[in-house]
Amino acid sequence: MSNNPDNFYQSKQVTKQKVNFLNQYKMKVAGNLFMPKTLAANTKYPAIIVGHPMGAVKEQSANLYATKMAEQGFVTLAIDLSYWGESEGQPRNAVLPDMYSEDFSAAVDFLGTQPFVDRNNIGVIGICGSGSFAISAAKIDPRFKAIATVSMYDMGAASRNGLNHSLTLQQRKQILQQAAEQRYIEFTGGQTLYTGGTINKGQITAKDSPIAHEFYDFYRTTRGEFTPAGSQPELTTHPTLTSSPKFMNFYPFNDIETISPRPLLFITGDKAHSKEFSEDAYRRAAEPKELYYVKNAGHVDLYDRVNLIPFDKLVSFFKANLH
């Protein structure tokens, strides 16, 4: 709990408004719209969409980033991805990366039609898994003028290969077989099973991995714990078992070079277990691009530790590219 975590930060300089809008598939996407109190009438402002970590909700990390960036003069929108949080989608916690990417484009639809937003200057910050969804969206939606990712996970590569390519092909096939067999069970009315995610409250032990402890310290303590109304706390961050293989067909970095000349900024901790994904995306991307390492920062550190998150870097990136 050290290093100044401030996930639930609120600002007296900013107004927050709950909003919702439809994506292209007529599903309601929920968001929090943040605006600087200094907004002038009859003026259009640059805007930034913020996506939460995979399996989380907008109140976890995304609101913090959106609030801090709104303090710097941007209109910001933190969204819940479909099937998560307050956004629509059944079953809950389903994996559908194409729909997640669509939600980012739908957020552009919403912001770009607001009278106080300059639709030609809309950017995006994707945290953890949302980094890969934002890149996937930006490849086919040129309205994203600047793309930043923080502690990015390529959810496709992570699912296919594991971290540092630790998953064997045989293990991958076992995962697919289990999910396929479970489809029969659920199709005939059986209980829904969930997979992966953060170890549930009170169940972590010293034998669990450092990465498991890292996520637990955020999602299962007062530092970042948040359960939307009507949700079950024990299902936070756990996707459905039968839908999780959808990630294995998700290749967000293929054709990433086509985003150029729109700028890309990849921010990762130099001690982050996930830095391989930012490094891979940076290698593949075309200019202009930048890979920025935060010294002495791990993956989850950049969710909420305000003394480590390089907000100055994000502000300068978006002020240079959204104007």
Is 287 in a helix, a strand, or coil?
A: coil
Among candidate residues 151, 127, 122, 129, the one with its CA nearest the CA of residue 262: 122
Is residue 209, in this structure, part of any structural domain at all?
A: no
Has this prediction a pTM greater than 0.95?
A: yes
Gyration radius from the chain CA atoms = 19
Q: Can you give the pLDDT of all 323 residues of the chain as single tens digits?
A: 568 899 999 999 999 999 999 999 999 999 999 999 999 999 999 999 999 999 999 999 999 999 999 999 999 999 999 999 999 999 999 999 999 999 999 999 999 999 999 999 999 999 999 999 999 999 999 999 999 999 999 999 999 999 999 999 999 999 999 999 999 999 999 999 999 999 999 999 999 999 999 999 999 999 999 999 989 989 999 999 999 999 999 999 999 999 999 999 999 999 999 999 999 999 999 999 999 999 999 999 999 999 999 999 999 999 999 98
Give the model's pLDDT for residue 208: 97
Residue 279 maps to which CATH number? 3.40.50.1820
Residue type, 312: D
Cβ-in-10-Å burial (0-12, 13-18, 19+) of 154 comes to buried
Is residue 265, in this structure, part of any structural domain at all?
A: yes
DSSP 29: E
Owning domain of residue 142: 14-163+247-321
Is residue 276, in this structure, part of any structural domain at all?
A: yes
Q: How many distinct structural domains can be found in the chain?
A: 1
Residues 254 and 238: their CA atoms lie apart, in Å, by: 27
Is residue 174, in this structure, part of any structural domain at all?
A: no
Residues 76 and 66: their CA atoms lie apart, in Å, by: 5
Tokens of 67: 């609030």
Is residue 207, in this structure, part of any structural domain at all?
A: no
Give the model's pLDDT for residue 1: 52
DSSP 240: B
Could you please report the per-residue DSSP string of 80-138?
A: PPTTSTTS--SSTT---HHHHHHHHHHHHHHHHTSTTEEEEEEEEEEETTHHHHHHHHH
